[in-house]
Each structure stands twice: as C-alpha cells, then as structure tokens.
Amino acid sequence: MTSYANDRRAVMTLDAGGTNFVFSAIKGCAQAVAPLTVPSNGHNLDLCLKGIVDGFRYVERSLGESPAAISFAFPGPSYYRDGVIGDLGNLPAFRGGVALGPMLSDMFGVPVYINNDGDLYAYGEATAGILPWLNGRLEAAASPRRFRNLVGITLGTGFGAGIVCDGKLHTGDNGIAAEVWNMSNRYFPDTNMEELVSIRAVRRFYADIMGMDVDKAPTPKEIYGYGLEEEGPRRDAALEAYRIMGRSLGDALANIMTATDSVVVIGGGVAGARALFMPAALDEVRSQFASSGVARLCQSVYDLDNEAELNEFLKGDVRVAKVPFSDKTVRYDAALRLGVGFSRIGTSRAISIGAYAVALDNLDR
C-alpha cells in the first residue's frame, strides 16, 4: 500500500448521511480544516445540492489553497464510476439519477471521486489503519509474512463492508461488491444478514426475549450496559441478544473470509459492544460442520485484540526448505492464518483517509 502520510496535496471530503452532511479536508492523512456539519435536506434536491456546493466552498476557503480533488462517501449503492447518485432510501431527492460528480467537477475544476462508505472504510484501514499496524508488528517480530488483503466491516444502522485485494480497492463490475448486508445466513434463512447484524437486530432480539414492543426497546448502548450488570433479567436478555448477533456475525465472517482469504477489521457504532458479541462470533468462525466435523475455515483465525493470540499470530510457523539440486534454502511461514480485529483509528477517520487515498491513487495513475 502507498503511504500518503507526507503528501502535501489536499483533498476535500464529505461524509454524507441521511440526516447530516459533514465536510472537511485531508492533507497528509490528517484533517486539514475543522469539520462543517449541515443538514442533508435529503427530500429537497435543490436545497440538498446547494448545501453540498456551499459546504465545499466553505472548505475551499478554509484551506487557503486549491484542492487536488474532491473525494467522498455516499450511503448505499449508486453509479459511482460515472459520478451519478441513484435511488437512495435515506436521500430520496436523488431518485431517478443525479450526476453529482460531474456537477462538482465543473464547479470546482478538479476531479471528483464518489464511493461507498464501506469501501472507503476498508481502504482507509488498509492505508493507515490495521493493515500497516499488523505488518509493522510482523516485521518487528522478524516474520517473513505480510498481509495485503483486507475486509472492512461496519456495524451500525446497517451491516456494511469493503474489500481491499492485493492493495487495491475491489468494487466489482457494477461498483457494488461487498454488499454483505444482503447475504443469507444459516440460522434465520428467511431473512438477510442485516436483520441479524445491526442496531435494529440487537433491539429486536432484546425485545423478543423481554416480551416487549420493539419500539419501546432500549438502544444498543443501553442494552450493552445491561449486559455489564451483575445479575437480573435485563442482563440475561442483553447477553442473549448480543450472543445471537455475534453468532450471526460469525456466520457472515466465515463466509467472507473463505471467499477472500483476508484479515478482517471491524468498526461502526455497535463495535463498542465487542465484549458481548465477539466471543460468539469467534466461536462460530472457529466451529465445525456438525455432520462432517470439517472446520468452517481452512485457516486458523486469531483475535488481534487479544495479546496472547496476537503473539501467537505473529509467531507463525517459520520453516526452512531446501531448494532441490542446490545449496540454497527458502525461509517461509507455514501457518495458514487470518486475524480479526477492531479499528485503531476510528471508523470516521478511516473513511476520510480512504477517500483521500482513493483520490491520490487515481491522480497518480
């Protein structure tokens, strides 16, 4: 991965949500201006577009220099390669297709890059987050192994992801690779994965266990707090709600890691409750198929946030093989392994750095 930590080019960014738009700029992988938050006005296209233009004008003035590009995340799948925003549930004003990227490029005179937030999260973690951290630890441990593939998972209002393959962002032919929210699952086959791994999933599980209306269920943060109590029905329900979510997440991770053979990094608002759901997720990833005893994964999976497991991961199984008909030898690591860890730079920062790196990658090409 290319490091842009010392790059002096500035890129204007936007974190677009259904409620608010947050504008900023990144320079050398660091925030270059104070963020500006404005209402998205997602139901009124004229107001929404005016807010976007005004937001970037503010950032441009605050920078005091011309940006090299504009790069930002929009929620949900769209026609990103063409800079066209299509039918988004939380920003209905864009239904029918709006060429937002070309509009901004004409107005500001710079290239404009738009991507899915899950993709940018993964790319930010691969560029300046968990992947360089992990490879740095491997180097310090004198290991011959390095990792170049990564799946970034976001747990929050929805269940999102992005894939980095051999150091490059993988978006697929339609620009919608890694739409993991729509994966099937083996525990509740009549619904997709997002109904089991999201904010609303935790609330619904808790409400079902407590026999209450889901609309009156507490927030996932409150449920997490109940899970830390010493005893009582609230604690039992909270632990079970997060256990079900964790088991479902583990099912998704096992399939994702089988397909990509990648390290996984997890972020998003629900990630803060990791202590309650991660044991069940890891149990599922490390489980076997009951009928055959075959493991879910060919690789061993380590918890990168557990110091003992991290040390075992770094150690690997280094061997030396002789080259036939030669005096040469080859040093290699025979341990087939992957790791799962949580963001060390924060989800929002990773998305911003991902947007920055995508823009500079494209400019340099």
Contacts of 63 (CB under 8 A, 6+ apart): 10, 12, 25, 32, 33
pLDDT of residue 76: 66
Inter-helix orientation angle 130-140/307-315, to 10°: 60
Which residue carries 């360089």 as its tokens? 132
Overall residue count recorded for the chain in this entry: 365
Distance CA 195, CA 174 (A): 24
How, if at all, do strands 318-322 and 159-165 pair? unpaired
176 neighbors 170 (Cβ within 8 angstroms): no
* Helices and strands (DSSP H and E) totals, the chain: 10, 14
Q: For residue 19, what pLDDT is reported?
A: 85
Instruction: For residue 331, give the nearest of 342, 346, 316 by alpha carbon.
Output: 316
Q: Which residue, 346, 355, 361, 343, is CA-closest to 25? A: 355
- The pLDDT score that the predictor gives to residue 73 is 87
pLDDT at 64: 92
User: Quick one: pLDDT at residue 17?
Assistant: 81
* Regions of the chain short of the pLDDT cut 70: 76-77
pLDDT value, residue 80: 87
Per-residue buried b or exposed e for 163-197, using 16+ beta carbons within 10 Å of the residue's own CB:
bbbeeebbbeeebbbbbbbebebeeeeeebbbbbb
Could you give the C-alpha distances from 308 to 51, 304, 311, in angstroms and in order?
Answer: 49, 9, 5
Distance CA 251, CA 264 (A): 14
Predicted local confidence at residue 283, as pLDDT = 98
Give the whole-angstrom CA distance, residue 126 versus residue 286. 24
Instruction: Give CA–CA dist 12/57, Å, rounded.
Output: 10
Give the pLDDT confidence score for residue 2 in this predicted structure.
80
Domains of the chain, with CATH numbers? 10-120 (3.30.420.40), 130-344 (3.30.420.40)
Number of neighbours of residue 82 by Cβ within 10 angstroms? 13
Structure tokens at 280: 């069940």
Residues contacting residue 35 through CB under 8 Å, at least 6 positions apart? 22, 23, 24
Taking CA 114 as the corner, what is the angle to CA 47 and CA 262, rounded to the nearest 5 degrees? 140
CA distance linking residue 50 with residue 41, whole number of Å: 10
